[in-house]
Structure 1
Amino acid sequence: MTRYEYVIVGGGMIADAAVKGIRELDRDGAVLVLGDDPEEPYTRPALSKLLWTDPSFTEDKVPLGTADAEIRTGATVSAIDPEGKTVTVEGPSTGSGGTGETLEYGALLIATGGSPKTIDLPAGDRVVYFRTFADYRHLRELAAERPHVAVVGGSYIGTEIAAALVQNDVRVTLVVPDDTLREKVFPRPLAETFQRWFEDAGVEIVTGTKVTGGTETADGVTLELDSGGTLEADAVVLGLGIEPNTALAEAAGLAVDDGVVVDEHLRTSNPSVYAAGDVASYPDALLGRRRIEHVDLARKMGRAAGRQMVGDEAPFTYTPYFYSMVFGHRYEAVGDLDSRLDTVEAWAEPGAKGTVYYLDGDAVKGVLLWGNSSDAEPDARDGAREVLADPTGWTREQLAERTLV
């Protein structure tokens, strides 16, 4: 039986960062990355941002160039045995012709990410549940015909894809369940500003509406709406969030609760198995246990997990930030953004550049950095973390004077 010192199940950004973390401490141990994607690790955020808006960022810049590891693409892991320290692999890249191969490991990292949430509308030639590099290429081909595309979902992916498409001369209808874009996240005036960016760019927004299903034909897609009506489009992109891929961990007997449960060392309930990224429920040092789906966490947690697999005992204490950019406007956040919370605003340029603090009683729960530049120093994010580290240590008057951007 072939043995690898380190096995990573999942071939995304976590895997790339974990390999780097491993190699910081162990230059020689055999590392195997098992990814079901046909591509080697690549930078996922570019799929909904730079590839559409920056002509200098071309497809050849998407792969991460993961080195110092054996990488198998199109590989399906069918079982993990934490007690026996083995993993069973199916797929064309197995050494046994695709009938199943069992490998031994010293330490294993679960980095299986998540799968798109779906509705009663199967993926097809004109229906894209946007997640992968292949999805980007498919949507690019559709967009080249300048069709009418309905985008379903008003969170990060939905808004970014809607903005990307309309900036590439595609007619876009954005369907969202809220009355105003991002109203559950931003204070009302900022949500209205956010929506105006889309309307001014030519995006038709259908608010207060859920898509319940649909039908694809050779000529287009008919969406069924909860109002009882329908919406016709040439193609549909759905960005409804993801479900963590925990089935392997559950079958292996590992603790799962909205993700694979890990401790501050990113260890699962079995000490030889680690988990990181979208699939991991971890105890954030400032915010408490949570599962976060964002690139900043992938990079930092992946590297930390790799180091932990080698034997580094430093706890993972990093609190990540979120960011998004549409129509040249960037916003970042640390912590929880919930428009039901009280807010205190501190503006450097009213409505354009400033900080919004979200409070539950006297405790700061989240910080929105509105208009923070993409090339800014990390001072604003560190300032947000400083506030969250002492959530009740700031008066509202102090926060109103604390403009971080």
Structure 2
Amino acid sequence: MTEDIPTFDYLIVGGGMVADAAARGIRERDTTGTIGILSADSDPPYTRPALSKKLWTDPDFTEEQVPLNTAADTGADLCLNTLVTRIDRFGRTVQTSDGETVGYRRLLLATGSTPRTIPAPEQDDRIVAFRSAQDYRRLRELAAGGGRIIVVGGGYIGTEIAAALAHNGVDTELVFPDETLGAAQFPPALAERHQALFVEGGVRLVPGRRVEEIRAEGNTLHAVLDDGRVRAGEAVVIGLGADPVVGLAAEAELAVDDGVLVDDHLATSDDAIWAAGDIAAYPDPILGRSRVEHVDNATEMGEAAGRAMAGEEVTYRHTPYFYSQVFGTRWEAIGTVDASCDPLTVDLDDGRAVVYYRDEAGAPIGVLLWNVSDARDLARAVLVDREENEQALRNRIR
């Protein structure tokens, strides 16, 4: 390996919550090895869920509480605004967009996801494809400016941002493709309850429509719908989900198939390279080969990857949960949450509910907990047991 380039014992590509967790995992086993983090973000690692949740709803939680203090806590050498463009597996180096070369002994890919977009004017800062802390700050500015903000998309980010804006008194309009908000995920009765939260919260809903493009005319943005109608606003937030950033791994000829393929130690097809977080397609002990884009997966897998890089040989066996919270209602889920998968709803007291999503044989493949707390392990047990008896399922989580 070339001696005149900076070389780290542990090099992490990506600067999100996975990178923070991985650096901490490394330090659990190796207190002296050098750690480098190359991040394309302009901010140090931070708690991403707060960007669409707590920062908007909890006045005691401020932006100063969002950073994770990764460098100070772990001693990692953090380089921001640094995009890695190439991995040289044989030379064990990476190259950045500014021409720098950095060496590694062990490499972690934690490149995360990039938000989906739609045709829109370039470099118009009134249009936010929401993902980063920088996007949060810009949206805060737009929200303070008055006028209507159009949110595009009825998934996790779209619904959370619409709820956050409305909670802060912003004139908010939400455009989404389902006839009822959440219909793709929730059974009909629960989707109706979900949608009612937004109606009561003051969000103007535009159901059953997709936005084809965004046009700018002076101080107004126009969201052109798929039926030709136009919705006007002063700003637009795009919340259409995200795609894993796997190009770097693919170009390095690592095994890729709906994510970077890793084994049960989170190692890739190159034994000096690991992958974790949004991009990692891993062998989940309950769900089978999975790729999960949520915070529990990021932190648990990131820490495990760090420990594995530092020599731990314990198999990674965590099955992550994911969650959303809008207008004071929280739901959590494990596994498949798809309204087409024969959902069985069990209504509990105080507006709580459990939904079991089932395969063709009637066995559960996903569990949703609606305002039900402290039941994730019970939900995991349901998926392990594959209970097909409907009455028995009804009594599993009470």
Query: What's the TM-score once normalised by structure 1's chain length?
Result: 0.94
Report Cα offsets for 1:74-117 as digits up to 9, x if no partner. Answer: 111121112221111344xxxxxxxx222221110000001111
Match of 2:8 among 4, 7, 11: 4
2:37 counterpart residue number: 33
Q: Which structure 1 residue ranges, 5 or more long, are not aligned?
A: 92-99
Report Cα offsets for 1:321-351 as digits up to 9, x if no partner. Answer: 011100000000011011112222333216x
Structure-1 separation of matches of 2:26 and 2:349:
44
Amino acid at match of 1:400: R
Q: Is the 1:266–1:276 contact (alpha carbons within 8 Å) kept by the matching residues of 2?
A: yes
Match of 2:84 among 48, 65, 77: 77
Q: Does 1:384 align with 2:379?
A: yes
2:129 counterpart residue number: 129
State the Cα distance separating 1:354 from its structure 2 match: 2.4
Change (3 A) 1:226 1:37: same
Structure-2 separation of matches of 1:217 and 1:229:
16
Structure-2 separation of matches of 1:335 and 1:314:
23
1:109 counterpart residue number: 108
How many residues align structurally? 389
Q: Is the 1:146–1:169 contact (alpha carbons within 8 Å) kept by the matching residues of 2?
A: no
The SS at the match of 1:182 is coil
1:235 counterpart residue number: 235
State the Cα distance separating 1:394 from its structure 2 match: 4.7
Amino acid at match of 2:271: P
2:46 counterpart residue number: 42
Structure-2 separation of matches of 1:329 and 1:76:
38
2:182 counterpart residue number: 182
The SS at the match of 1:349 is coil
Q: Does 1:119 align with 2:118?
A: yes
Q: Is the 2:382–2:396 contact (alpha carbons within 8 Å) kept by the matching residues of 1?
A: no
Bigger mean CA offset, 173-182 vs 119-128: 119-128
Q: Is the 2:57–2:167 contact (alpha carbons within 8 Å) kept by the matching residues of 1?
A: yes
Q: Is the 1:127–1:216 contact (alpha carbons within 8 Å) kept by the matching residues of 2?
A: no
Moved over 2 A (4+): 343-348
1:324 counterpart residue number: 324
Q: Is the 1:155–1:239 contact (alpha carbons within 8 Å) kept by the matching residues of 2?
A: yes
Bigger mean CA offset, 307-316 vs 318-327: 307-316
Structure-2 separation of matches of 1:125 and 1:21:
37
Report Cα offsets for 1:106-165 as digits up to 9, x if no partner. Answer: 110000001111111145221000000000000000101222000000000000000000
Amino acid at match of 1:102: T
Q: Does 1:169 align with 2:169?
A: yes
Q: How does 1:346-365 map to 2 (within 5 A)?
A: 346-349=346-349, 352-360=351-359, 361-365=361-365
Report Cα offsets for 1:46-93 as digits up to 9, x if no partner. Answer: 0000000000000000100112211111111121112221111344xx
Q: Is the 1:262–1:281 contact (alpha carbons within 8 Å) kept by the matching residues of 2?
A: yes
Q: Which structure 2 residue ranges, 5 or more long, are not aligned?
A: none
Q: How does 1:224-373 map to 2 (within 5 A)?
A: 224-349=224-349, 352-360=351-359, 361-373=361-373
Amino acid at match of 1:348: L
Amino acid at match of 1:321: Y
Amino acid at match of 2:132: T
Structure-2 separation of matches of 1:219 and 1:200:
29
Q: Does 1:398 align with 2:392?
A: yes
CA RMSD of aligned residues (A): 1.2
Structure-1 separation of matches of 2:299 and 2:177:
32
Q: Is the 2:378–2:397 contact (alpha carbons within 8 Å) kept by the matching residues of 1?
A: no
Change (3 A) 1:280 1:123: farther
State the Cα distance separating 1:402 from its structure 2 match: 2.1
The SS at the match of 2:348 is strand
Q: Is the 2:17–2:298 contact (alpha carbons within 8 Å) kept by the matching residues of 1?
A: yes
Report Cα offsets for 1:333-388 as digits up to 9, x if no partner. Answer: 011011112222333216x1121111112211000101134xxxx4x000000111
Amino acid at match of 1:14: V
Structure-1 separation of matches of 2:232 and 2:207:
16
Structure-1 separation of matches of 2:124 and 2:243:
20
